[in-house]
A and B are shown apart, each in its own frame.
Chain A
Amino acid sequence: MHIVVCMKQVPRDNSVKINADLTINADGIEQIMNLFDEYAVEEALQWNEKLGGKVTVLSIGPEDWKEQIRRALAMGATDSLLLSDPAFTNLDTFGAARVAAAAIKKLGDVDLVLGGRNSTDDETGAFAPALARLLGWTQLTYVGKIVSLESGKIVAERHLEEVIETVEASLPAVVTVVKGINEPRYPSLLRIRKVAKVEIPTWSAADLGLSAADLTPALKLVNRVPPPPRPKGEMIEGKDAAEKVKKLVDKLMEAQVI
């Protein structure tokens, strides 16, 4: 079975700034593998250990994104692919889905695409559904357990807000996973060293046959601002815990929140 994991590199935390041209400024913030994608990598590796085949980790981004691809390789992914082109700089979610779809079509023999339920930076959760429609495959989102996976068929539990839905679907399919589906492994030092020099294949827009129209955002970003500041708070003082508690309850009752 050939499993492709779509992986995004994101800032470790979201204390980002907004540039004058409305792009996001994450300078000085460590870049990590999107947490939900790490679960997708682990899930792919576990099924690969049972079923054999290939796990290709795929990412769209500049050259320095190879660091997180290497982390996935060190975890145990067998293959990798970076989709990189200056024309990809301002892709929106659907543009990214078109790029990934072109690459997966070009790979040709893919049975299953796995990814996280959303990225922790853009938080749209729209990449995987768009990718599935562009490939003409079905999708299973918010999966908390893959019950079975075999040639041509997947059974999985979708963990929704209040129910768990068990769904059976034909392959190929696009599946997104939630936190807690597994416990992602740490890459071993030995493997980190082993993959340090591995050549990561890189495909450009031209390699994928993509035109400028394919990469044009569907939505135009017209404004981007930080959230309004919270009103200044108040520290509750008192001679002891009991007095502070009494004053706090006074405030909460006055504000009619309890």
Chain B
Amino acid sequence: MANEIWVFIERTSQGEMAGVSKELLGKARELADANGMKVGALILGAGVGDLANAAFAYGADTAYVVDDGALAQYTTDAYVGAAAALAKKYQPALILTGASFQMRDFSAALAAELDTGVAADSTNVSIENGAVSAVRSSHGGNVINTLTFAPGKTAVVSVRKQSFPEPQPNPGRSGAVVTEAMPGVPMRAKVVSVAPKQGAVNLADAAIIVSGGRGLGSPENYYKLIPPLAEAVGGAYGASRAIVDAGWVPYEHQVGQTGKTVSPKLYMAIGISGAIQHLAGMRSSRTIVAINKDPDAPIFRVATYGVVGDANEIVPLLTEEIKKRTGK
């Protein structure tokens, strides 16, 4: 096992290094310094040479690069093939990736290819006496698990965005570039087209989310009350499973066990009783506001501020008051 921690470098649609990769390089640097290790940046793609310098600025010592047309777009076969060949040759102790859908696909397949395990969607990672541990939640956030990897195998950990702070870059830092050729692996899938998602809402990235539920009474009330309040606070709007399943709001907006897990700085739950499946998706929000007619609604048990009352009366007043006070 080499004494290295690798970070898979993700790109934004503009080709720049993604925020989560910066966060992971910062964490890798911290772990490496504390354990006498080195940081490697795993850079796969077509025309990605520039990323090595960005990775050095954020803390990498070495960039492991496969630059090949076969990697122009993500496919599991090409990316896992290239990463596994590098990892088998250089034997890093730990590989960190983000936890987007694409990275969940990649990290799990890579771990299987390396005959190791994966800690998926983790929120912390540590190394003690050479053993890698990761913390991840399960059961809708009701269970926090700490898992330790067997020594002697590469640990693979996918990490939830914003688990670690983004470090300050040091543009003067430099490092070594190791370039490898694309290995010959079977390519059984090809991307035919990529289209932006209609009405995509990235709830996971929103700092403020205003969600509505069945207590609003009708889809008309939802659209009359929730998006305007979301707009007034500069947030995105979400929904409970009940009203998504009833067809009021598209699935994209669903928060909870079978929807999105979110932890914004402010979550407003309006006319949502707080079924355990819903709480699972939002209970780690920093501040929670609940507005509900029923004073015994379970949502009040997790709320930072609770208001008992009719949403149809309160929300328009709230939207106006916020606009007036914040000058928006």
Partner among B104, B139, B148, B266 whose Cβ is within 8 Å of the Cβ of A252: B266
Say whether, besides A94-B117, A257-B266, A133 and B314 are in contact (CB < 8 Å).
Answer: no
B202:A161 contact, CB within 8 angstroms: yes
Any chain A CB within 8 A of the CB of B11? no
Asked, given contacts A122-B138, A160-B102, A233-B306, whether A138 binds B189 with beta carbons under 8 Å apart, the answer is yes
The complex places the Cα of A77 from the Cα of B277 at a distance, in Å, of 28
Contact B111 A252 (CB under 8 A): no
Whole-angstrom distance from the CB of B30 to the nearest CB of chain A? 21
- In residues 131-154 of chain B, which contact A (Cβ within 8 Å)? 133-134, 137-150, 153
B99-114 residues at the A interface, CB under 8 angstroms: 100-102, 104-105, 107-109, 111-113
How far apart are the CA atoms of A219 and B77 in the complex, in Å? 25
How far is A177 from B192 in the complex, measured between Cα atoms in Å?
Answer: 19
How many chain A residues sit at the interface, stated as a range, is: 35 or more
Residues of B within 8 A of A92 (CB): 117
The 8 A CB mask of B56-78 against A (1 = contact, 0 = none) is 00000000000000000001110
A94 CB contacts on chain B under 8 angstroms: 111-112, 117-118
Among B76, B80, B308, chain A packs the most CB atoms within 10 A around the CB of B76
* Contact between chains at B318 and A248 (CB < 8 Å): yes
Chain A contact surface mostly: mixed
Task: Note all chain B residues with C-beta closer than 8 A to A165.
Answer: 191, 193-194
Q: Are A221 and B101 in contact (CB under 8 A)?
A: no
Alpha-carbon gap, A106 to B33, bound state (A): 48
Chain B binder among A1-9, A124-132, A199-207 = A124-132
- Please measure, in the bound complex, the distance between the C-alpha atom of A103 and the C-alpha atom of B197, giving whole angstroms: 37
The reply to whether A258 and B208 form a contact with Cβ atoms under 8 Å apart is: yes
Inter-chain CA distance A199–B100, complex, in Å, is 41
Contact of A248 among B80, B258, B289 (CB under 8 A): B289
Q: Is B321 an interface residue (CB 8 A)?
A: yes
CA separation between A123 and B195, bound complex, in Å?
27
Of A16, A167, A258, which one neighbours B192 at CB under 8 angstroms? A167
User: Closest CB of chain A to B183's CB: distance in Å?
Assistant: 15
Known contacts A123-B121, A227-B141, A233-B306; A253/B258 CB under 8 A? no
Partner of B112, one of A123, A134, A170, A230: A134
Q: How many A-B residue pairs have CB under 8 A?
A: 257
B14-22, B37-45, B166-174, B296-304: which lies at the A interface? B296-304
Query: Is the C-beta of B116 less than 8 angstroms from some C-beta in chain A?
Result: yes
In the docked arrangement, what's the CA distance between A166 and B286, Å? 37
Does any Cβ of A come within 8 Å of B204's Cβ? yes
A251 at the B interface (CB under 8 A): yes
A79 interfacial contact with B, CB 8 Å: no
Majority secondary structure, B binding face: mixed
**What is the CA–CA distance of A36 and B146 in the complex, to the nearest angstrom?**
26
**A241 CB to closest chain B CB, in angstroms?**
5
Q: Answer yes or no: A198 CB below 8 A from chain B CBs.
A: no
| B225 interface residue (CB < 8 Å to A) | no
* B317 at interface, CB cutoff 8 A: yes
Contact at A162–B196, with CB atoms within 8 Å? yes
Q: Does A107 count as interface, using CB distance less than 8 angstroms?
A: no
In the bound complex, residues from chain A placing their C-beta under 8 Å from that of B257 are 13-14, 120
Chain A residues numbered 127-150 whose CB sits less than 8 Å from any CB in chain B: 128-130, 132-134, 137-142
CA distance in complex: A163, B108 (Å): 21
Question: Which of chain A's residues have a CB closer than 8 A to the CB of B318?
Answer: 245, 248-249
Check A233 against B304 for contact (C-beta < 8 Å): yes
Judged by a CB distance under 8 angstroms, whether B233 is at the interface is yes
What residue in chain B is nearest A224 (Cβ atoms)?
Answer: B145
A129-B76 contact in complex given A124-B118, A159-B197, C-beta closer than 8 Å: yes
Q: Is A196 an interface residue (CB 8 A)?
A: no
B111–A130 touching, CB < 8 Å: yes
Say whether A161 contacts B76, CB under 8 Å.
no
Let me know if A235 is at the binding interface, CB within 8 A. yes
Could you give, for residues 13-50 of chain A, a 1 whenever the CB lies within 8 Å of some chain B CB and a 0 otherwise?
A: 11110100000100000000001100000000000000
Cβ-based interface call for A222 (8 A): yes
Which one of B119, B140, B307, B322 contacts A236 once the chains associate, using CB atoms below 8 Å?
A: B307
Q: B108, B138, B200, B259 — which one has the most chain A CB atoms within 10 A of its CB?
A: B108
In the complex with contacts A221-B147, A235-B308, A141-B104 CB distance below 8 A: yes
A187 contacts partner chain B, Cβ-Cβ < 8 Å: no
Give me the interface of A with B, judged by CB distance under 8 Å: 11, 13-16, 18, 24, 35-36, 92-94, 97, 120-126, 128-130, 132-134, 137-142, 155, 158-170, 173, 179-180, 217-227, 230-231, 233-236, 241-242, 244-246, 248-249, 251-253, 255, 257-258
Residues of chain B touching chain A, judged by Cβ–Cβ distance below 8 Å, are 75-77, 80, 100-102, 104-105, 107-109, 111-113, 116-121, 133-134, 137-150, 153, 188-197, 200, 202, 204, 208, 233, 251, 254, 257-259, 265-266, 275-277, 280, 283-284, 286-289, 300-310, 313-314, 317-318, 321-322, 325-326
25 contacts between A and B (CB under 8 A): A121-B139, A123-B137, A124-B120, A132-B112, A133-B112, A142-B105, A160-B197, A161-B101, A161-B204, A164-B194, A165-B193, A166-B191, A168-B189, A169-B188, A173-B189, A217-B117, A233-B301, A233-B304, A234-B305, A235-B300, A241-B314, A245-B318, A252-B266, A257-B287, A258-B322
